[in-house]
Chain A
Amino acid sequence: MEKKYKVPIGPVHVGLKEPITAWLDLEGEKIVGATVRPGAIHRGIEFMARDRNPIQVIYLSERICGICSFAHVVCFLRAVEDAASIPVPPRAQYIRALVLELERLHSHMLWAGVACYTIGFDSAFHLGMVLRERVMDVLEVLSGNRVNYGVATVGGVRWDVTAELSKTVKDMVKYYKREFSPFYDVVTADPIAKARLRDVGVLTYEEAIAHSAVGPTVRASGVRADLRESSPYEAYVDFGVKAVVPQDYYGKAYGDVFDRFLVRVHEVYQSLDIIEKVMEGLPEGDIMWEKNLNKVLAYLKKAEGTGMSSIEAPRGDDTHVVHLDGGDENVTWWKVRAPTYSNAVSWPLMFKDNELADAPLIINSIDPCISCMERMLVTDASSGDQKVVTRTELLEKCREKTRRLMQNDRN
């Protein structure tokens, strides 16, 4: 009889991002079941917002996640604007769309690089990171910051698109149209990379819908779900965005890690197209509903109502609901539903019948906000033996598999 092992991964997880714990049930090398326990870095953000006014909460919502920071800000602001019925000038809507797409570019490139790093394809990781620096430069020209931009405010944006910036953006789009395809070819044409990504962590069409996966994860399973297409918000009405699904490009959706890679790569091209449209169609006019911050705060103090907003963040749909009470300058309550939470539910399904060596890749494949995996404990339930497997060993195992495939390929 095969021995069964229970392997906890996390909560500290050197891989990337937010700490999370997963227990994997193993039979030999095969994963037969998995349990996920989130909540390690719960900071009580929604609670903290209750003694801050909406302008102060902007900076708090930016720090929910450092990668999709602008998505959270725009979503929160749209909820506040919905609650207080504040109109946003068209130029501000376009600039918001511009920054949202720039953010999607850097997020997807980071993910593609890290996915290559996980399978031991370090040259592709560095290639991806070099490409990503260009969009970070553009964001820095726009806002002065590389990560938390502080661009948006209630009823508009704080920074305008100058002639200098629009030139930088156009140069960047040209650069990516020229330089991004070599990276894409390096990964998709490589038989080893394909073997490591294809048929790993499969999530079928039905499972993706039943477990309410969102964003690139659900699109990779062949579901046409993109809020920019199904319920376009703000300036997206003008761009005619179509959801990227693998069957449009390769005839069939497998729902595996390779498809998730393809979807994100094609979304990079899609974002470049949207950025071009933004720069072409940028309307003239104000960028703010009201420039005087005190007037905005006084108006928000009087406003009463509940506002809701859903937008397509790089990882899937992000929903914020905000309630403002008349006479109270603070946010009465605020609810955030981030995309990773929906996607993490489908991890146990993806883990099923895969090898332990693929576990880091599958965890990364939904682009979670995971922080650090570092050490795991292999417990032999029958004998009570405990063996500690470090993350280095697990990464080594993941890379060994790549080498094994390379050997087979040569023979």
Chain B
Amino acid sequence: MMKLEKYLEILPKSLWVTTCNSGSCNGCDIEIVATISPRYDIERLGMKLVGTPRHADVLIVTGPVTKYMTNRLRRIYNQMPDPKAVVAVGNCGASGDVFYKSYNLDGPIDRIIPVDVYVHGCPPRPEAIIEGVAKAVLKLERLREDLKKAGEQQS
């Protein structure tokens, strides 16, 4: 397996990222906005925030998933084309964190959709979010290989 830094140098494709707030406090969401701002600028790495899951390779989910948002999150995940990866940003998406014991949560996120990368922090720094998305590249490449093999076997 190639090293992460190497992958960022020769990113196999431009990653398009979409976000879903499933009940977070906005803290993670403003840090995601900060990653597209000139200081952190994820577009220099070929990554881009897109408005619709149908165009996205990576889904960034923030928040502990409230009951109201469960089905919506599932629908967003299902709308994404394969291969896809999910990045859970923030502690509350990974474990519930300060929101544990709430009566209105279905989360954490991995009870609803499969999560590939966890980015910890409350909220994580923009650099950590960029690293998390870069790690999702590894996962996507593996999935792409698997799909390719499956296609070759069929033909």
Please say whether chains A and B are actual partners in one complex. Answer: yes
Which residues of A approach B to under 8 Å, CB–CB?
Answer: 11-12, 14, 16-19, 39-45, 47-48, 51, 59-60, 63-67, 69, 110, 114, 126, 129-130, 132-133, 136, 146-148, 369, 371-372, 374-375, 390-392, 395
Residues B99 and A43 in contact, CB atoms below 8 Å apart: yes
Residues A147 and B123 in contact, CB atoms below 8 Å apart: yes
B7 CB–A CB distance under 8 Å = no
A-B contact pairs, 20 of them (CB 8 A): A11-B72, A14-B51, A16-B26, A16-B29, A19-B21, A19-B72, A48-B102, A65-B25, A67-B26, A67-B27, A129-B37, A133-B37, A146-B123, A147-B123, A371-B21, A374-B51, A374-B76, A390-B51, A390-B52, A392-B50
Quick one: closest B residue to A395, CB to CB?
Answer: B51
B117 CB–A CB distance under 8 Å = no
Inter-chain contacts of A41 with B (CB < 8 A) = 21-24, 63, 66, 68-69
Cα separation A215 to B8 with both chains bound (whole Å): 44
What per-residue 1/0 map shows which CB atoms of B1-41 lie under 8 Å from chain A? 00000000000000000111111111111110110011100
Quick one: closest B residue to A67, CB to CB?
Answer: B26
Whether A11 touches B25, Cβ cut-off 8 Å, given contacts A16-B33, A129-B33, A374-B52, is no
B143 CB–A CB distance under 8 Å = no
Inter-chain contacts of B122 with A (CB < 8 A) = 63, 148
Inter-chain contacts of B20 with A (CB < 8 A) = 12, 372, 374
Residues B26 and A369 in contact, CB atoms below 8 Å apart: yes
User: Which of A40, A43, A126, A136 is in CB contact (< 8 Å) with B38?
Assistant: A126
Cα separation A114 to B64 with both chains bound (whole Å): 25
Cα separation A39 to B23 with both chains bound (whole Å): 10
Which residues of B approach A to under 8 Å, CB–CB?
Answer: 18-31, 33-34, 37-39, 50-53, 63-64, 66, 68-69, 72, 76, 92, 98-99, 101-105, 122-123, 125
Cα separation A18 to B20 with both chains bound (whole Å): 10
Quick one: closest A residue to B49, CB to CB?
Answer: A14
Quick one: closest B residue to A50, CB to CB?
Answer: B101
Inter-chain contacts of B25 with A (CB < 8 A) = 63-66, 69
Quick one: closest B residue to A47, CB to CB?
Answer: B103
Residues A12 and B72 in contact, CB atoms below 8 Å apart: yes
Quick one: closest A residue to B104, CB to CB?
Answer: A44
Beyond A12-B72, A41-B24, 18 additional contacts (C-beta under 8 Å) are A11-B68, A11-B69, A19-B72, A41-B21, A43-B66, A43-B99, A44-B102, A45-B102, A59-B98, A66-B123, A67-B30, A110-B30, A129-B38, A148-B122, A371-B29, A374-B53, A390-B52, A392-B52
Inter-chain contacts of B22 with A (CB < 8 A) = 41
Inter-chain contacts of A17 with B (CB < 8 A) = 21, 26, 29
Closest 9 CB pairs of A and B: A66-B27, A129-B37, A371-B21, A41-B23, A66-B26, A392-B51, A66-B25, A63-B25, A147-B27
Inter-chain contacts of A11 with B (CB < 8 A) = 68-69, 72
Residues A14 and B19 in contact, CB atoms below 8 Å apart: yes
B26 to chain A, nearest CB (A): 4
Residues B98 and A60 in contact, CB atoms below 8 Å apart: yes
Cα separation A129 to B31 with both chains bound (whole Å): 11
Cα separation A230 to B101 with both chains bound (whole Å): 39
Cα separation A147 to B122 with both chains bound (whole Å): 8
Cα separation A66 to B101 with both chains bound (whole Å): 20
A107 to chain B, nearest CB (A): 9
